[in-house]
Amino acid sequence: MPDTSRRLRIVFEPDWEPAGAPPAHRGLFAVDPRVRTLLKVLVSYPEVRHVLPDRISLDPSAAVPLLESIARFLERQSWLVKRVDIS
Task: Evaluate if residue 54 carries a pLDDT over 90.
Answer: yes
Work out the average pLDDT over 43-56.
95
pTM score of the predicted model: 0.85
User: Does residue 1 belong to any structural domain of this protein?
Assistant: no
The pLDDT, as a whole number, for residue 22 is 72
User: Does residue 5 belong to any structural domain of this protein?
Assistant: no
Question: Containing domain of residue 63, as a range?
Answer: 10-86
Sheet holding 55-58, edge to edge: 48-52, 55-58, 6-12, 81-86
Task: Evaluate if residue 23 carries a pLDDT over 80.
Answer: no
The pLDDT, as a whole number, for residue 26 is 86
Task: Evaluate if residue 19 carries a pLDDT over 70.
Answer: no
For 12, phi and psi rounded to 5 degrees? -90, 155
Work out the average pLDDT over 15-22.
70
| 3-state SS assignment for residue 27 | helix
CB 63 within 8 A of CB 11: no
DSSP code for 23 = G
When divided into structural domains, the chain yields a total of: 1
User: Does residue 24 belong to any structural domain of this protein?
Assistant: yes
